[in-house]
Structure 1
Amino acid sequence: MTRYQIGELARMTGLPVRTIRFYSDQGLIPPTARTVGGYRTYDGEAVAKLKLVRTLRDLGVDLPTAGRVLAREVSVTDVARTHADAIDAQMRTLRLRRAVLRAVAKGGEMELMNELARMSDEERQRILDDFFEEVFGPYELDPRFEQHMRSVRVELPDDPTTEQLEAWVELAKLVQDQDFRAAIKRMSAQHEEQRRAGVDMGPRSDGQREAFDFAISQARAALDAGIAPGSPEAREVVARVNARWAEALDVPDDEDLVEKLRSYADFADPRAERYWVLLARVNGWPGVPDTSAERTWLREAGQPFG
């Protein structure tokens, strides 16, 4: 039977002599025999074991586990599966750290970014559920509307982009902002009042949707033209939008539409739309158009949006 000394094993396996000697001293690769001069010798099985240990170590498996594999206490398959799972977890952590660092590099708040990013799915959802409970809980809303809102989940992926992480941080800050919560509570109270009064809280008609799109397009054109909300030109824009809404709601165009239009969520606090924009970005949904600038201009331009 062929015997090899440590120097030969080193050449055959690519491992340093001192490493092979250490493995031998630890009992992982015991010598098969010794020469008359006391030098250790190893057989072909030792060569195979050394190559296996080298491969396991290259893959990051710790030495005690490698020893258990050699002793056949665990299989290579089990070790590979367990180690792959551990690497997956490490990669998720590293990707999250990378997203945090890139977000911080763009000017984000490091401690807040890191804290919010490291939250579990349950912890992130708890922030949203707490928001729902405060702004919807005290009111009798349309059950379909409330169920839809409360069913929304925050699903930040394990490998978020910088934009997703930034969106989650902004969303978390938004739903915890007391001024925003107060605004949504006022909307909920109005919703409850209208529901009790028998106002149809269902979806808008095609005409109303068209009127909304018209209002947004008019505001966008005004913004692009540099028209200030308080200017005479802005009053002309508002008059056109007011007339279109009057037609959509089938009321005289000289009727005061302020309260009527305030019943439509599209013309509520622009931050309410920002909420959906951010949520879509976090969850990787198709992009939601952000018309908050147009809404703000309309609100500042006067009736029926002020």
Structure 2
Amino acid sequence: MDGDTLYSIGELARRTGLTVKAVRFYSDRGIVTPAGRSPAGYRRYGPDAVARLDLVRTLRELGLDLRTIHKVADRELPLPEVAAAHAEALAVQIRVLRLRHAVLTAVAERRLTPEETDLMHRLAQLSEAERRRLVGDFLDAVFDGPGADPAFAGVRRSMTPELPDEPEAEQTRAWAEWAELALDPGFRSDLRRMTEDLAAERARGGSTVPGRDFAATVRDLVAPALAAGVDPASHHADPVVTALAAHYARVCGGPDDAGLRHRLLLRLESVNDPRRDRYLRLLAVINGWPAPESPAPVLDWSAEAVRVRLRLRCAGDGRRTTGR
């Protein structure tokens, strides 16, 4: 390019893709300065103005302010340092925007009230230390006592959320909902009762070590019958119920009688809590685990199958009593 070439504001605008108004604005601010004037007094710019305006446009699109851009263009500030500081500031803004997006999405999807929205927003804004305290308080409320035995450490770990340092919007949203659920006194109480029941069952069975998750065992025993469309009230379900009762008898260390089947029914109903199901789904999102399969269908089927047979047994006992 000819170093003696001078450009009008209009020519400079065409070469840089800026508007004439923008070029004039940057010129008035001293970011680009005229190399001379035309005979009629119009400003004329040298080739270096093209390069400066290209840099200005790039840095403006990246969000830098004019004062900083001016210093970078004049070599008063090193661009890498400016870029590093600006990138750090943008990272903070991105985290804030992700949080806002997560909360607003949750409000829309769950149709939250103003009070629920306020709570979710505050939970989403907790610091890392505050999150750790909340998780610890929740797990202590569930596991202190019977579940405090070291044998329950694995169960406790499997229920611990670990939000990453740079969570995705979905993880932030899941965390806020998880925290809301964890603060529910009723949910805490129900989970603690399940822990106590598990400890009591293991004690009756002669073991203090928690075995495989109860719902997972039920799923393995019941899933084939459910997939085959077996009616829980039909005689085809008898072997499945017998297998469920036998497993529960081994866990509890008692005979397969009416009392054990009543306890089995109560256990099935207590485990089949939609809040527990939701907890595990939120936990999977937060921790980046695969989405768990809902145990509700097999638990519903199992509870109904046991319930039907208990009613039949009660009816049979009633008829025998009347006969005597």
Q: How many Å separate the matches in 2 of 1:36 and 1:281? A: 70
Matched, 1:160 2:169: yes
Query: Does structure 2 conserve the Cα–Cα contact (< 8 Å) formed by 1:277 and 1:287?
Result: yes
Aligned to 1:132: 139
CA distance 1:94–1:18, change in 2 (3 Å) = same
The letter for the 1-side match of 2:294 is: D
Kindly report which structure 2 residues correspond to 1:1-306, keeping only aligned pairs within 5 A, or say none. Answer: 1-34=4-37, 38-109=41-112, 111=117, 113-137=120-144, 141-146=148-153, 149=156, 152-155=160-163, 158-161=167-170, 167-189=174-196, 199-204=206-211, 212-213=218-219, 215-217=221-223, 220=226, 227=232, 238-239=241-242, 241-246=244-249, 252-254=255-257, 256-257=259-260, 269-271=271-273, 272=276, 274-295=278-299, 298=302, 301-302=306-307
The letter for the 1-side match of 2:82 is: V
**Secondary structure of the equivalent of 2:85?**
helix
Query: Does structure 2 conserve the Cα–Cα contact (< 8 Å) formed by 1:32 and 1:42?
Result: yes
Q: How many Å separate the matches in 2 of 1:253 and 1:197? A: 14
Q: How many Å separate the matches in 1 of 2:223 and 2:208? A: 25
> What percentage of residue pairs aligned between the two structures are identical?
39
The letter for the 2-side match of 1:50 is: L
- TM (normalized to structure 1)? 0.71
Shift of 1:214: 5.2
12-21 or 237-246, which deviates more: 237-246
Q: How many Å separate the matches in 2 of 1:123 and 1:153? A: 13
Shift of 1:193: 6.3
Q: How many Å separate the matches in 2 of 1:257 and 1:39? A: 99
Query: Does structure 1 conserve the Cα–Cα contact (< 8 Å) formed by 2:31 and 2:73?
Result: yes
**Secondary structure of the equivalent of 1:83?**
helix
Q: How many Å separate the matches in 1 of 2:103 and 2:19? A: 40
Q: How many Å separate the matches in 2 of 1:126 and 1:176? A: 12
Q: How many Å separate the matches in 2 of 1:302 and 1:143? A: 35
Q: How many Å separate the matches in 2 of 1:67 and 1:95? A: 31
Query: Does structure 1 conserve the Cα–Cα contact (< 8 Å) formed by 2:146 and 2:196?
Result: yes
CA distance 1:286–1:268, change in 2 (3 Å) = same
Count of residue pairs brought into register by the alignment:
297
Shift of 1:277: 3.4
- 1:138-195 CA-partner distances (Å, limit 9, x unpaired): 557222424762582332663234xx56644543333222122122333444566678
The letter for the 1-side match of 2:162 is: V
Q: How many Å separate the matches in 2 of 1:154 and 1:129? A: 12
The answer for unaligned runs of 5 or more in structure 2 is 311-324
Q: How many Å separate the matches in 2 of 1:55 and 1:165? A: 32
The letter for the 2-side match of 1:217 is: A
The letter for the 2-side match of 1:270 is: N
**Secondary structure of the equivalent of 1:154?**
coil
Q: How many Å separate the matches in 1 of 2:187 and 2:30? A: 66
Shift of 1:77: 2.6
**Secondary structure of the equivalent of 1:4?**
coil
**Secondary structure of the equivalent of 1:60?**
coil
The answer for unaligned runs of 5 or more in structure 1 is none
Query: Does structure 1 conserve the Cα–Cα contact (< 8 Å) formed by 2:36 and 2:45?
Result: yes
The letter for the 1-side match of 2:299 is: R
Shift of 1:240: 5.2
CA distance 1:15–1:179, change in 2 (3 Å) = closer
The letter for the 2-side match of 1:14 is: G
**Secondary structure of the equivalent of 2:44?**
strand
Shift of 1:40: 3.0
* Structure with a larger share of its residues in helix: 2
Over aligned residues, Cα RMSD in angstroms? 4.5
